[in-house]
Chains A and B, each alone.
Chain A
Amino acid sequence: MSTTNPTHDLACTALSKSFGSVQAVDNVSFDIPPGSFFSILGPSGCGKTTLMRMIAGFENPDHGDIQIKGRSVIRIPPNKRNVKMVFQHLALFPMMNVYDNIAYGLRCVGASRKEIDQKIADVLERVALPDVAKREIHQLSGGQKQRIAIARCMVLNPDVLLLDEPLGALDLKLREAMKIELKLLQHQFNTTFVYITHDQSEALVMSDNVAVMNEGRFEQIGTPQALYHHPASAFVAGFVGDSNRWTGKVIDAGNNNVRLSCDAGFDAQSHTTDTITLSRGDNATVYVRPEHIQVDTQVNADNNNQTDATNALTGHIDSLLFNGANSRVLVRDKAGELIEADVTLTGSSHDPKPGDLVRLSWRSEQALCF
Chain B
Amino acid sequence: MAGSRAKDAKKLALILLFTPFALWITLLILLPHVGMMVLSLKEKVAPRVYEYGFDNYINFAQEPIYWNTLLRTGSVSLLVTLLALLIGFPVAYYIAKIAGNRTKGALFLLCLIPLWVSDLIRAFGWILLLRETGVISSALQASGLIDTPIEFLYNDATVIMGLVYTVVLFMIVPLVSTLDGMDNEMIEAGYNLGGNGFTVLRRIIIPYAMPGIVAGCIVVFMLSAGSYLTPILLGGKNSSWFTEQIYDQFISRYNWESGAAFGFVLLVFTSLVVWLGLKLSGQTLSSTVAKS
Contacts and interface: CB of A to CB of B under 8 A. Distances in A.
Interface in B186-211: 186, 188-196, 199, 203-204, 207-208, 210
Given A93-B204, A94-B208, A95-B210, A79 B194 contact: yes
A58 interface: yes
B63 interface: no
Contact of B208 (A95, A105, A108): A95
B202 to A, nearest CB: 11
The residue among A58, A85, A90, A104 with the most chain B CB atoms within 10 A of its own CB is: A104
B185 interface: yes
A95 B194 CA distance: 18
A102 to B, nearest CB: 9
B183 interface: yes
How big is chain B's contact interface, by range?
10 to 19
Interface string A39-63: 0000000000000000011100000
A104 B186 contact: no
A80 B189 CA distance: 13
Contacts of A156: 193-194
Nearest to B182: A94
A57 B191 CA distance: 10
A352 B208 CA distance: 60
B210 A105 contact: no
Interface in A149-198: 152-153, 156
Given A93-B204, A94-B208, A85 B192 contact: yes
A91 interface: yes
Contacts of A85: 188-189, 192
B185 A109 contact: no
B191 A79 contact: yes
Contacts of A91: 183, 185-186, 188-189
A339 to B, nearest CB: 43
Contacts of B185: 87-91
Nearest to B209: A95
Contacts of B199: 108
Given A88-B185, A89-B185, A91-B186, A79 B192 contact: yes
A78 B192 CA distance: 6
A84 B193 contact: yes
Contacts of A88: 185
A156 B193 CA distance: 8
A212 to B, nearest CB: 26
A105 B204 CA distance: 12
Given A89-B183, A93-B204, A95-B208, A109 B194 contact: yes
B188 A87 contact: yes
Nearest to A108: B194
Interface of A: 56-58, 77-80, 83-85, 87-91, 93-96, 104-105, 108-109, 152-153, 156
6 contacts: A78-B188, A78-B192, A85-B192, A93-B204, A95-B210, A104-B190
Interface of B: 183, 185-186, 188-196, 199, 203-204, 207-208, 210
Given A77-B191, A93-B207, 4 more contacts: A56-B188, A84-B193, A104-B203, A108-B193
